[in-house]
Chains A and B, each alone.
Chain A
């Protein structure tokens, strides 16, 4: 009978700590591997090297991008450089090499750097925000749904902050939620399938370096290959002979010809964005250009000086990653020993608060009741009956 079991609690046991064996809910001898935060990250991301590198779950066409760059550059160094070194100058492979290194490093950094992901709100924060939304200052109308935007004034301009239902936060200015990665990203520019990651506050400078150096590399290879073929076809040999002598150059020519225009165009576009301190997202939506019918709107984030805008975007301080990828998740053992398992019919608000925290699925840190486990364990183990 349950009453018998309850009566077995010896008050003496409370006063003097008895060396009883550890009870069931404390699996101390079962070694549970501590998990790192990246393993429980809620967004759609992929992690490598134990959380050191982050990318989108869909790698997009990153393998294609890498493949094309490596192939074209490889063919260039193998087939065109020897001829050009012999006939022109040995600076050509040197310049090509530097550009190639810049392209690859900036591509990898763009793809594997956290773009500025905002961590989701903790249950307490989300509850606090809900409370503020449900009780707006002023009249409480039960017919309208609670407002999910907040207005702030930035540089004498009204900016609307939207509430993100997935992350349960009011998005800071210039932040947008990427549906592919399922994360809110600060200063969200766009999700680039070519690099397989979002481009945001933290990796925009890497992305810009990538496209600028790629434009230079593509144009350089295109120019060198054209020179190579021209030199070969001199002396009455003709272009066909030159292509036959160096077929790899034909492939490089085709790849470079078709990509140089789009890459140059993209570089030009992003240079304009950097100079005006805009993001692709804002430019497309026309947030500050008055396309949406607003007059007297200007970009409140611009410093109204091209040099200052460029410097702030490209040479500004590097913000830290806000998602702690390599930190450890608090131990799950505490969930079993939490007081929430005691389902009191007259449970007060403070217990419900703890209950909500546990049922939301987040692992609890060690609760204070752990110090009372010796006397209280017997109650807990029978509490669900």
Chain B
């Protein structure tokens, strides 16, 4: 069984499948197996949605601090804008109250519009900045707005290669 005595050849089989995962959708699925770094919420400004900008040590070698901080600060700005209590939110609230809140069933609220903007921003950041560095940023709305998670996608491929190498060794193929 020549392929096992040359595990590198086998690994090449895996690397050839890299193109399968350059699609962000597939990366998303595979990233759930990888190690993750979670950025928790910052509650110092009461219950508004804000994430900590402290740079985690695990990302030290993977991404520049400035890029990370810019991403988290932009996300915080978006959420701050969504939860801002000002003229537009009062208008929306009063109109909703006057119509017995039926307009919530008919039209998209300001918050929902901003969430769509956030989701597009995250996708853009993933494509331009994080995917080339082997990271995947997940939208906080998928985690109940509790955390921003960075998944390390490169570990997946290494771990799969290691698994198969061990298989060959153990079963003496």
Contacts and interface: CB of A to CB of B under 8 A. Distances in A.
Interface of A: 6-7, 9, 11, 14, 101-102, 105-106, 109, 118-119, 121-122, 124-125, 128, 152-155, 159, 161, 169, 172-174, 186-187, 205-206, 209, 300-301, 308, 311-312, 314-320, 322-324, 330, 339, 342, 344-348, 350-351, 353-354, 357, 364-369, 371-372, 375-376, 379
B62 to A, nearest CB: 17
B66 interface: no
A155 B30 CA distance: 41
Interface in B62-108: 82-85, 89-90, 92-94, 96-97, 100-102, 104
5 contacts: A105-B100, A317-B89, A322-B141, A345-B170, A346-B166
A11 B146 contact: no
Contact of A339 (B47, B93, B142, B160): B160
A318 B104 contact: yes
Contacts, number: 175
Given A11-B3, A205-B101, A350-B155, A376 B164 contact: yes
Nearest to B170: A344
A102 B96 CA distance: 12
Contacts of B3: 11, 14
A187 B170 contact: no
Nearest to B147: A125
Contact of A342 (B20, B96, B167): B167
B32 A102 contact: no
Given A172-B47, A315-B94, A372 B164 contact: yes
A159 B38 contact: no
B129 interface: no
A165 to B, nearest CB: 16
B93 A6 contact: no
Contact of B2 (A11, A311, A346, A371): A11
Contact of B144 (A119, A317, A342): A119
A16 B156 CA distance: 24
A365 to B, nearest CB: 4
Interface string B17-48: 10011000010111011011010010111110
B144 A322 contact: yes
Contacts of B170: 344-346
A117 to B, nearest CB: 9
A367 to B, nearest CB: 6
B41 to A, nearest CB: 7
B118 to A, nearest CB: 11
Nearest to A13: B3
B163 interface: yes
B5 to A, nearest CB: 10
Contact of A351 (B1, B13, B26, B159): B159
Contacts of A371: 14, 17, 20
A360 to B, nearest CB: 12
A36 B130 CA distance: 30
Nearest to B38: A128
B1 A9 contact: yes
B141 A320 contact: yes
A342 B167 CA distance: 9
B100 A173 contact: no
Contacts of A159: 43
Contact of A124 (B36, B145, B166): B36
A155 B13 contact: no
Nearest to A104: B100
B103 to A, nearest CB: 10
A9 B100 contact: no
A122 B143 contact: yes
Given A11-B2, A317-B85, A365 B29 contact: yes
A215 to B, nearest CB: 16
A118 B35 CA distance: 23
Contacts of B83: 316-317, 319
Contact of B43 (A173, A186, A369): A173
Contact of B46 (A119, A128, A300, A375): A300
Contacts of B164: 372, 376
A14 B89 contact: no
A205 B170 CA distance: 63
A312 to B, nearest CB: 5
A187 B47 contact: yes
Contacts of B10: 14
A354 B47 contact: no
Given A122-B143, A154-B43, A311 B163 contact: no
A61 B50 CA distance: 39
Nearest to A124: B36
Given A154-B44, A316-B83, A368-B17, 12 more contacts: A7-B173, A11-B3, A101-B100, A105-B102, A109-B101, A121-B146, A128-B38, A315-B97, A317-B109, A324-B142, A346-B166, A368-B156
A354 B33 contact: yes
B171 to A, nearest CB: 6
Contacts of B96: 318
A112 to B, nearest CB: 11
